[in-house]
């Protein structure tokens, strides 16, 4: 997606009494055209205005804008004036609600690969794509910057899959393979992921299995069990569950990290991680 949309971590329903509103076709067309121009949405993305209802704000309607290109779908809240001429795109937040906790509550962490103590007071959840160059860089920087090692016993890193198959055609299969490795032993997951990132630039759809076979043997996996799991895509449901979870959190690019529920898009200066980790540790 080549345009900017301010993504929020959660969707807030604003009205308890929902009343459908019929937006005149000419107004719908004008709003959609305006959204495309205002957000610089590329022509190959379809835009639709959906589910316009009365909102709890006087003089405003509330609806959803759908952005769709092939299998990629994004949604954003929209608030429209009563005369259908003005609109606001974005989310409304409740100052009485803990957004960090809300996002963390959407994550299923049990059963996912992790490093660090299981009961660590700070949890970093990483949504990553094994074919993504930025994810490779982040994977390496997390290790070289010794983010976990800087807080012994206090920080846990959880890995979640968010492949983008349209851009990265072997990423989903690589994620399935890593989950098959994880099924045998946690350390095997990290060994597979390390080797995939290390050799990322030389892997293709054609040679993926040959490479995975070598990595599995290097890691010490039970190869026959690994091959059976991979060939049968026995862990694809787990990968897809991670993807659905990421989408519910508004993850639109990788890597995206959540530090105790606080979002960090991309691997920025390590100081960003240190500041957030220290903030959460100071609250314990």
* Higher-scoring residue by pLDDT: 4, 129: 129
Tell me the CATH number at 106.
3.40.30.10
Range name among 34-43, 191-200, 221-230 with the lowest pLDDT average: 34-43
The DSSP secondary-structure symbol of 283 reads T
Q: Which helix (H) or strand (E) holds 190?
A: helix 186-198
Q: Are residues 131 and 269 in the same domain?
A: yes
Q: Are residues 263 and 216 in the same domain?
A: yes
Tokens standing for residue 63: 């609806």
Last residue of a domain, one of 45, 66, 97: 97
Q: Which helix (H) or strand (E) holds 80?
A: strand 72-81
Separation between Cα atoms, residue 29 and residue 15, nearest integer Å: 25
Q: Are residues 37 and 111 in the same domain?
A: no
Q: Which helix (H) or strand (E) holds 150?
A: none
Which of 115, 188, 104 is CA-nearest to residue 154? 115
pTM: 0.75
User: What residues make up the domain containing 62?
Assistant: 1-97
Q: Are residues 61 and 128 in the same domain?
A: no
Q: Are residues 54 and 121 in the same domain?
A: no
Q: Are residues 232 and 105 in the same domain?
A: yes
Q: How confident is the model at residue 206 (pLDDT cuts 50, 70, 90)?
A: very high
Query: What digits encode the pLDDT tens for the residues 38-72?
Result: 888 888 899 999 999 988 888 999 999 999 988 78
Query: What digits encode the pLDDT tens for the residues 97-106?
Result: 899 999 999 9
Q: Are residues 64 and 196 in the same domain?
A: no
Q: Are residues 22 and 146 in the same domain?
A: no
What's residue 42's pLDDT?
A: 85
Number of domains into which the chain is organized = 2
Q: Are residues 91 and 112 in the same domain?
A: no
Q: Are residues 56 and 193 in the same domain?
A: no
Q: Are residues 118 and 60 in the same domain?
A: no
Q: How confident is the model at residue 208 (pLDDT cuts 50, 70, 90)?
A: very high
Last residue of a domain, one of 50, 81, 97: 97
Q: Are residues 165 and 50 in the same domain?
A: no
Four-CA torsion 241, 276, 144, 245, nearest 10 degrees: 10
Last residue of a domain, one of 66, 97, 128: 97
């Amino acid at each position: 997606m080549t345009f900017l949309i301010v993504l929020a971590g959660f969707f807030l329903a604003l009205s308890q009494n929902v009343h459908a509103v019929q937006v005149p076709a000419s107004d719908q067309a004008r709003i959609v055209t305006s959204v495309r121009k205002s957000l610089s949405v590329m022509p190959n993305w379809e835009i639709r205005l959906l589910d316009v209802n009365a909102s709890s704000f006087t003089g405003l309607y509330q609806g959803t804008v759908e952005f769709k290109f092939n299998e990629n779908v994004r949604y954003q809240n929209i608030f429209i004036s009563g005369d259908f001429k003005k609109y606001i795109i974005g989310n409304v937040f409740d100052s009485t609600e803990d957004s960090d906790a809300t996002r963390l509550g959407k994550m299923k962490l049990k059963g996912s690969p992790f490093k660090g103590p299981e009961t660590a007071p700070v949890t970093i959840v990483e949504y990553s794509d094994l074919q993504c160059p930025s994810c490779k860089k982040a994977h390496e920087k997390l290790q070289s910057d010794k983010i976990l090692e800087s807080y012994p016993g206090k920080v846990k890193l959880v890995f979640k899959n968010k492949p983008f198959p349209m851009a990265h055609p072997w990423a989903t299969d690589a994620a399935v393979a890593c989950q098959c490795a994880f099924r045998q032993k946690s350390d095997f997951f990290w060994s597979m992921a390390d080797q995939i990132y290390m050799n990322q630039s030389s892997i293709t759809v054609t040679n993926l299995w040959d490479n995975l076979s070598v990595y599995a043997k290097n890691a010490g996996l039970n190869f026959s069990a690994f091959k059976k799991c991979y060939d049968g895509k026995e862990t694809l449901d787990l990968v897809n569950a991670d993807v659905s979870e990421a989408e519910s959190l508004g993850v639109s690019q990788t890597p995206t990290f959540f530090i105790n529920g606080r979002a960090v898009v991309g691997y920025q200066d390590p100081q960003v991680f240190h500041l957030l980790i220290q903030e959460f540790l100071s609250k314990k």
